[in-house]
Amino acid sequence: YTRKIKRQCNLPAETFDGSRVQVLSNIELVEEVAAVIDNGGEGVGLYRTEYAYLNRTDLPTEDELTDKYIDLAAIMAPRKVVFRTLDLGSDKFISTFGELNETNPAMGLRAIRFCLKNPQLFKVQLRAILRASAYGNVSMMFPMISGVKEVRQAKAWLAQAKAELRREGLDYDPNMPIGTMIELPAAVMIAEYLAHEVDFFSIGTNDLIQYSIGVDRTNHHVSYLYQPLHPATLRAIKMVVDAAHQAGIEVSLCGEVASDPFCVPILLGMGIDSLSMTPQAIPGIKRIIRQTNMHDCRKLLKDVLQCRTVSRINNLVMDNIFKHF
C-alpha cells in the first residue's frame, strides 16, 4: 500500500473537483533535494539555511554559501526554492557570537532580529541568495517578523546588497519574490499591512502555535496544550489566508500542520495555495488531497469555525475522515 502511494507521488495534488494545491518540501541540507524529487515534491517551500552556520567555529564565507545555494537552485530549477534567511538564536546559536545569556531565548534576539543587529552577517547571506537567484527559481523570506518596520529594514539591506552586486557586475534575478513568515500573533493581527510589503506569506505554525497559545514547543510538560486544532490557531491561520488573498498575494503553510492529515482538509477549505512539509510526508498528503473535494473542505471549515473547543473540532474532523477514507 505504501509502495502504491509512493508510485503515485508525481501526480499533481488536485482535488476531485479540480482545485490545485502546490505541495512543496522543507529541507535543512542541500543533500535532501534527492528525497524531495523522489517523493514528488514540486519545489522547496522552506530551506532552513541556519544549519550551515552551526557546529563550527568560523562563519561561512559568501563564496561558500553562494556555491551551496547555486547547487540547490540549479538542481531544483525550474521548480522553486524558498530560502529563509537565518533563523538563529533561541535554541540555535553560533559559537562565534558567544552565548547571549537570555532568560527567555524564544522571545529574545533571534531570527530577523539577530540579523538586523548584525547587518554584516545578514548581508553576506543576502548577497549569496541573490547570486544564486541567477541560476534558478529563487524566492527569499524573512523569519519571525513582528512588524512592518522590520520588513522594510530587511528590504533596505536587500536593496543595498543588490546595488553592490550591480556595481560589481554580478548577476542576480531583479524580480526575485520576497516573502515574510507569519509566526507571531502580532504578524497575524497586521497581516493586512504586511501583505502590502511582500510578494507572499508563509505561515510557520510551529512557532505560531507556541506564541499564540503560550506553550513552549519543546516543553513536554505542556505539550498537551500544543494544539493545531485549537479554535485560536485555526482563526489565526484563516485571518492570514484571507488577508493575503485580499491583497492578491499567495500564502503557503510550512509548519508541521501542513503534513497533518487532520488539518489538511481544513487548510484546503481556507484556500491555502501551497503546503510545505518534510519530503517523506509528500506522497501521503498528495494522496489525501486527490481524494478530497473542495466543496466538502469548505463545509468542514464552516462547521469547524463554529466550534468553541478543541474536542468538538477533533470530533468533526474525525467524522469527516471516516466519511472519506
Residues binding ligand PEP (CB under 6 A): 46, 48, 87, 183, 204-207, 254-255
To the nearest whole angstrom, how small is the minimum distance from the Cβ of residue 163 to ligand PEP? Answer: 30
To the nearest whole angstrom, how small is the minimum distance from the Cβ of residue 179 to ligand PEP? Answer: 13
Question: Which three-class secondary structure state does DSSP give residue 49?
Answer: helix
Q: Measured from the CB atom, is 40 or 255 closer to Mg ion? A: 255
Find the binding residues for Mg ion in span 188-207 (CB under 5 A): 204, 207
Compute the chain's Rg from CA coordinates: 20
To the nearest whole angstrom, how small is the minimum distance from the Cβ of residue 90 to Mg ion? Answer: 9
To the nearest whole angstrom, how small is the minimum distance from the Cβ of residue 1 to ligand PEP? Answer: 29
What cell was used for 122? Answer: 545578514
Strands in the chain per DSSP E: 22-27, 43-48, 80-84, 137-142, 178-182, 200-203, 250-253, 274-277
Name the closest residue to ligand PEP (Cβ).
Answer: 204
To the nearest whole angstrom, how small is the minimum distance from the Cβ of residue 146 to ligand PEP? Answer: 14
Total residues in contact with Mg ion, by rule CB under 5 A: 3
Give the Cα separation of 200 and 192 in Å (integer). 12
Q: Measured from the CB atom, is 46 or 281 closer to ligand PEP? A: 46
Dihedral over alpha carbons 224, 230, 236, 237 (to 10 degrees): 90
Give the Cα separation of 4 and 246 in Å (integer). 39
Q: Measured from the CB atom, is 39 or 90 closer to Mg ion? A: 90
Question: Which three-class secondary structure state does DSSP give residue 186?
Answer: helix
Q: Which does 227 bind (CB under 5 to 8 A by kind): ligand PEP, Mg ion, none?
A: none
Contact positions vs Mg ion (CB under 5 A): 183, 204, 207
